[in-house]
Copies of this chain bind each other. A is one copy, B any other.
Amino acid sequence: MATGRATLADVARAAGVGLATVSRALNGRPDVSEETTERVRRAAAALGYRPSGTARALRRGSFAALSAVVHDQVWGWWEPVLRAAASATAEAGMHLFVHPVTSGGDATDVIAGLANVPTEGVIVMGVPHQEALREECTRIGLPVVALDDSAHTLHLPTISARNRAGARRMTEYLIQQGHRRIVFVGGSTDEFVPSWGEGLFVEERLAGYREALAAAGIPFRDELVTGWADPEDESTALVGQLEELLRSGVTPDAVFCIADLVAPAVLRTLSAHRLSVPADVAVAGFDDERAALIVDPPLTTMRQPYEEMGRLAVELLQREIRGEALPVRRFELDAELVERESTRRAANSRV
């Protein structure tokens, strides 16, 4: 509330009526004479009066909000989750704040700033270091849950997809399709996406891949696991380590991309080597984000349960608000296999 802003009392004085009358007139109650209403309206307009939402909310007692703290680096990524959280919040009769954390900024500072904000709880998206967050939330008395699949050590109830099982499922599917030489792109930390850090999901998805191979009796080969390119060049990047592999004469049966995001570069790399998808090589991803539908051919992938994840975050928060103590553990939700052209057996003829 800016200082010097006109209040109800100012309007009342200017209009020469009582506080209550101003309130009634401005809220369009029928039990005020037209003449008075008009006078009050004019006075309010003259003073540039605008009601204080805070005071109103306090008095009416019917306002409640939740907060989503979203790191810039995961905005696009978590957009469907944010959207689901917004819907769930609205359905619960609450409202949702979005607090951005800029790339240079610190989520802890953002949370500290929440002390003055009328919010009841915090959903933190994409911030891997949870300890400081938890301390800050405890300090200002706000329940908090995290949406994250990077953190190795948890200090908060944390929601994510079941990454290991999902990757295992996809690998099993590729094996069922008859593929044995399956390259896993994005598993090495050599050429890493900075924001992924040493994300847990990398390990988990790689582990799922290995589990499926082992279960099928296919030996794991280190050289089939490659890193990824620098995301700065999203539009033109090739996957260096995949290139080397292809140049060395190894032609994979299939490529499993650790994330759909990686698929455009993988497809470009295969295409540069005159390999056709899915006729020569099957390609699969993980996430089912927009890239999966844009690439040609459309990508078979494991769909993260974005909608469920967003809703679960709101539900957990509501339980905390009601006083329930949530365990500090991962709440994992199943990813779902979505089959598209990039892995179909009934492939088109070679181009």
Interface size class of chain A, counting residues whose CB lies under 8 Å from the partner chain: 35 or more
Partner of A290, one of B1, B83, B290: B290
Question: A90-B100, A341-B236 are known contacts. Are A54 and B58 too (CB-CB below 8 A)?
Answer: yes
Chain B residues with CB under 8 A of A3? 61
Residue pair B83, A100 in contact (C-beta under 8 Å): yes
Shortest Cβ gap from A113 to chain B (Å): 9
Residue pair A63, B267 in contact (C-beta under 8 Å): no
Question: A271-B296, A291-B294 are known contacts. Are A118 and B118 too (CB-CB below 8 A)?
Answer: yes
Residue pair B117, A63 in contact (C-beta under 8 Å): yes
Question: In the docked arrangement, what's the CA distance between A322 and B341, Å?
Answer: 55
Partner of A116, one of B57, B117, B341: B57
Residue pair B268, A53 in contact (C-beta under 8 Å): no
Question: A63-B118, A72-B83 are known contacts. Are A98 and B96 too (CB-CB below 8 A)?
Answer: yes
Question: In the docked arrangement, what's the CA distance between A226 and B268, Å?
Answer: 29
A283-303 to B contact mask, C-beta < 8 Å, 1/0? 000000011111110100000
Q: Is A28 an interface residue (CB 8 A)?
A: yes
Docked complex: A62-82 residues within 8 A CB-CB of B: 62-65, 68, 72, 75-76, 79, 82
Residue pair A60, B291 in contact (C-beta under 8 Å): no
Q: Is A340 an interface residue (CB 8 A)?
A: yes
Give residues in A with beta carbon < 8 Å to B. 1-3, 26, 28, 48, 50-58, 60-65, 68, 72, 75-76, 79, 82-83, 86-87, 90, 95-100, 102, 115-120, 139, 141-142, 234-236, 264, 267-268, 271, 290-296, 298, 321-323, 340-341, 351
A-B contact list, 16 entries, CB within 8 Å: A50-B142, A53-B65, A54-B57, A54-B118, A55-B58, A62-B116, A63-B116, A63-B118, A79-B79, A86-B98, A96-B98, A235-B341, A236-B341, A264-B294, A290-B294, A295-B295
